[in-house]
Amino acid sequence: MYRDPVLSLQPLAGVPAAMRPLRVGMIGIGTVGSGTFRVLARNQAEIAGRAGRGIEVVMVAARNLPRAAGIVGDGIPLTDDPMHVATHPDIDVLVEVAGGTGPARDWVLAAIAHGKHVVTANKALLAEHGAEIFAAARQHGVAVAYEGAVAVSIPIIKALREGLTANRIEWVAGIINGTTNFILSKMRDEGLDFAGALAQAQALGYAEADPAFDIEGIDAAHKLTLLAANAFGTPVRFADVQVEGITALQGVDVACAEQLGYRIKLLGIARRREEGVELRVQPALVPAAHLMAHVNGSMNGIMVKGDASGVTMYYGAGAGSEQTASAVIADLVDMARLDGTHAAQRVPHLGFHAHAMSQLKALPRAAVHTSHYLRVPVHAANQIEAVAAFLAARRIPVQQVVLAAQEKTGPQVLVLTGPAPQGEIDLAVHALQASAAVAGAVTTLRVETLAG
Ligand code: HSE
């Protein structure tokens, strides 16, 4: 099955780069790689018409060579050595769609050191090693593109880096993990349990190799670091993101949120404030009438608030084989158009040139400023007033207090607060928890109005 790429490629010496197809080496031919291969073949003529030249996959590295041969056919050399592809002299662009962070970092850095452009859909790799990878790319004058790493089919990196380039971006917020949105939608609309909904997401190819990345919010946090870097001109800083997934979320809160006129979504939020930036991923209540509340299934939705543009919103598939391929190939078309350009003339990797990047301070959890939802189990329904009074006495801006319409759980007081620092909410809830009226653990979730 193994065919040696070195023996099967034609030498390129003396052929002007722009006259011949862009030659792509691919590492990984799983969900994203196979989709990329298929779409490149199917839309060959249109893609070449837009790129000004053909784009050909000329070599593929895969772990399972017989499976890979079944996808790419007989004409393309296969190897099980990714480094061979990353450093091969006849490759112009490395497409890394294998995932993971350790070996993938080595392949990408090797390709860059060998003067190759890189296209990747690997958000974990860039969130953790982006600073090193982008610095190496600058040093070697090559491009690293990653549209497929964030909200796959939505061209949000292009929108931030190019379409919104006139703006001072104030915030970016959205549903940026298809798997968790799929799970939340299935649980709410079809009454599926968590495990059943996750199994469906895995079967459809939405989930990461380790689905804990999805359900614990890590995948969304990876994507948020890339969005924030492009929005604010700050380096990628995964460690600064406050991350909370959906595993602790209870069905009763989904129902109580509905009662109050909200839906719960896993949101990634990057907000610039005077004191620094908030970077956070968490399940949050969104008004049921808001467009974001209607982003369902594996779809993603992202809003960007620019000072000149106002709020813009982007919607599209957040996971999937050809949906990600759409973004990977868009990056390849950009690469095909790069020949003859000087690195300084290109769109910078993170939207800002390196000298213009700034380290914005990441705000701690206690400083995050939002409205809150509290669900307070009480011994008796008439303790609703005691709960409201307790919070008001601690200067929590209580806006709405109602009894939950949940029969199974015992009396529950639902509270919606106005905006308050998380630190003050935490202190008040801690004290409330110890009061005689309270019969169990108080649940708090943030409320996001996502208003312009
Ligand atoms: N596991 C990811 C998601 C795939 O569900 O969004 C696309 O990045």
Q: Which CATH number do you get for residue 370? A: 3.30.70.260
User: What pLDDT is recorded for position 344?
Assistant: 86
Predicted confidence at residue 17, as pLDDT, reads: 57
Of 175, 184, 210, 214, which is best to mutate to test ligand 1, by the most ligand atoms within 8 angstroms of its C-beta?
214
Q: Is 177 in the pocket of ligand 1 (CB under 6 A)?
A: yes
Last residue of a domain, one of 337, 356, 375: 356
CA–CA distance, 198 with 312 (Å, rounded to integer)? 31
Do 170 and 238 belong to one domain? yes
- What atom of ligand 1 comes closest to residue 149's alpha carbon? 8
Q: Which atom, in ligand 1's list, is nearest to the CA of 208?
A: 1
Residue 9, pLDDT score: 46
Reported confidence tier of residue 4, pLDDT bands at 50, 70, 90: very low
The pick from 177, 213, 281 for probing ligand 1's pocket by mutation, whose C-beta has the most ligand atoms within 8 angstroms, reads 177
CA distances from 282 to 25, 85, 242, 325 (A): 37, 39, 8, 28
CATH assignment of the domain containing 47? 3.40.50.720
Query: Is the CB of 318 within 6 Å of ligand 1?
Result: yes
Residue 452 lies in a domain: no
Is the pLDDT at 346 greater than 80? The verdict is yes
Residues 309 and 162 in one domain: yes
319 CA distance to ligand 1 middle (Å): 5
Backbone angles phi, psi at 156, to 5 degrees: -80, -30
Domain-located, residue 70: yes
Q: Which atom of ligand 1 is nearest to the CA of 180?
A: 5
In a domain, 236, yes or no: yes
**Catalytic annotation on 186?**
no
Q: Is the distance from the beta carbon of residue 152 to the nearest atom of ligand 1 less than 6 Å? A: yes
Going from the Cα of 328 to the center of ligand 1, the distance in angstroms, rounded, reads: 14
Looking at the fold, whether 275 and 328 belong to one and the same domain comes out as: no
pLDDT, tens only, 220-251? 999 999 999 999 999 998 999 999 999 999 98
Q: How confident is the model at residue 8 (pLDDT cuts 50, 70, 90)?
A: very low
243 within a domain of the structure (yes/no): yes
pLDDT of residue 7: 38
Q: Quick one: pLDDT at residue 406?
A: 76
The answer on 174 and 236 residing in a single domain is: yes
Report pLDDT for 1: 41
Ligand 1: atom nearest CA of 182 is: 5
60 and 130 share one domain: yes
Confidence of residue 5 (pLDDT cuts 50, 70, 90): very low
pLDDT at site 131: 95
Residue 148 and residue 42 share a domain: yes
33 in contact with ligand 1, CB cutoff 6 A: no
In a domain, 241, yes or no: yes
Task: Evaluate if residue 353 carries a pLDDT over 90.
Answer: yes
**Averaged over 193-216, what is the pLDDT?**
94
425 and 412 in a single domain? The answer is yes
Q: Which two tokens stand for residue 415?
A: 């509270």
pTM strictly above 0.85: yes
> Exactly one of 116, 123, 223, 265 is catalytic; which is it?
223
Distance CA(69)–CA(63), nearest Å, equals: 11
**205 and 244 in one domain?**
yes
- Kindly state whether residue 352 falls inside one of the protein's structural domains: yes
Residues 137 and 47 in one domain: yes
How many structural domains is the chain composed of? Answer: 3
Boundaries of domain holding 161 = 156-317
| Ligand 1 lined by 206 (C-beta under 6 Å) | yes
Q: Indicate if 41 and 98 belong to the same structural domain.
A: yes
Q: Same structural domain for residues 384 and 351? A: no
Q: What are 113-170's pLDDT values in tens digits?
A: 999 999 999 999 999 999 999 999 999 999 999 999 999 999 999 999 999 999 999 9
* Domain of residue 222, CATH code: 3.30.360.10
Residue with tokens 């970016």: 172
- Residue 16 pLDDT: 59
Query: What pLDDT, on the 0 to 100 scale, is given for residue 340?
Result: 84
Tens-place pLDDT, residues 286-337: 999 999 999 999 999 999 999 999 999 999 999 999 999 999 999 999 999 9
**Model confidence over 257-289: pLDDT tens digits?**
999 999 999 999 999 999 999 999 999 999 999
The first and second tokens of residue 167, run together, are: 């703006």
| 309 shares a domain with 203 | yes
Lookup result for tokens 């509270």: 415
- Rounded to a whole number of angstroms, the CA Rg of the chain reads 24
Instruction: Write the CB contacts of 354 (distance below 8 Å, at least 6 apart in sequence).
Output: 135, 138, 348
